[in-house]
Amino acid sequence: MSKIVNNFWLKKQYANDSNLNARARLHQLYNVNQQPLQEWFFEQISLPNNARILELGCGNGSLWEEHIDKLDSNAKLTMTDYSSGMVDIVREKFNNNSKISFEIADAQNLTFSSQSFDIVIANHTLHHVNNIDLAISEIARVLKPNGVFYATTNGTKGLENYFYEIIQKISPTNRAFSEPLPFNLENAHNLLSRHFLKIAKTDFPNSLSITSVADLMEWLEASRDMQPDIDDKLLNKLHNYFDNILQKNGQINIPKEVGLMTASQPFETQNQDL
């Protein structure tokens, strides 16, 4: 089983938000498109009045930090994560907001009633789920007939693939980043179409222009739990490789592929209508 969906490694990676923050930092410092992903996300989606919203894999709640005012006075948001450490963090952060509740939840096994949410959000979360089809079927089940599922994820030719190609050059038998994310912008349509009738993809154009090797290495260190074969020897080789690029070019340019999948008209609803 790949480390990226392995509960042992995920529990270590997401025991608290330190790895998440370290990885987010690289993007915050060096994104060429400086619009925050969270702000872009809220421009793409529409929240109905009095919305019942479920977030899966909420992490440290960064989606809502600057956007909590998007919840109208009757909205209810249920923030959930598989990691109890993350749920503790969001409970601490948002506890004074009566519109928000907090729960530990595995996307593959939701305890919520069928057809109970207008919106389900899973941002950069489904690639960690072992049985993605089961998770999507659960999401379709808990959505109301006119509900919408939103999921941001990455494509297969972004940052992870960039590392894969470089590692193959300097250490050809190394398997780090050799597997694409299990839920990505290329396969998401297929996976979602088993449970939703209507699916759309919107790209968020971006790339990284990095001027510090230390910051890039910090991202790799924070990703170590989720990839095979990232050892100190490899990290030293990569450090030298990136030092050379930076000296030659003055920056390290890395492609990114990020986007939003929107899925509506869940099949469970369709079948009930027949």
Ligand X SMILES: C[S@@+](CC[C@H](N)C(=O)[O-])C[C@H]1O[C@@H](n2cnc3c(N)ncnc32)[C@H](O)[C@@H]1O
Task: Provide the minimum distance between the beta carbon of 63 and ligand X in the complex, in angstroms, as a whole number.
Answer: 6
Applying CB under 6 A, the span of 101-109, 157-165, 168-176, 256-264 interacting with ligand X comes to: 101-109
Q: Does 125 bind ligand X (CB under 6 A)?
A: yes
Nearest position to ligand X, beta carbon? 59
| Other Cβ atoms within 10 Å of 83 Cβ, number | 20
Footprint on residues 162-191 left by ligand X (CB under 6 A): none
Applying CB under 6 A, the span of 125-133, 162-170, 183-191, 203-211 interacting with ligand X comes to: 125-133
Q: Give 213 or 261: the residue with its C-beta nearer to ligand X.
A: 261
Spell out, one character per residue from 40 to 69, where the chain touches ligand X: x when CB under 6 A holds, - when not: ----------------xxxx--x-------
Q: Give 56 or 185: the residue with its C-beta nearer to ligand X.
A: 56
Footprint on residues 191-230 left by ligand X (CB under 6 A): none
Applying CB under 6 A, the span of 75-83, 139-147, 177-185, 252-260 interacting with ligand X comes to: 75-83
Among 78, 83, 227, 269, binds ligand X (CB under 6 A): 83
Q: Does 128 bind ligand X (CB under 6 A)?
A: yes
Q: Give 106 or 118: the residue with its C-beta nearer to ligand X.
A: 106
Nearest to 105 by CA among 142, 70, 74, 75: 142
Among 51, 107, 191, 210, binds ligand X (CB under 6 A): 107
Q: Does 86 bind ligand X (CB under 6 A)?
A: yes
Q: Does 123 bind ligand X (CB under 6 A)?
A: yes
Task: Provide the minimum distance between the beta carbon of 144 and ligand X in the complex, in angstroms, as a whole number.
Answer: 21
User: Is 55:125 a contact under the CB 8 Å cutoff?
Assistant: no
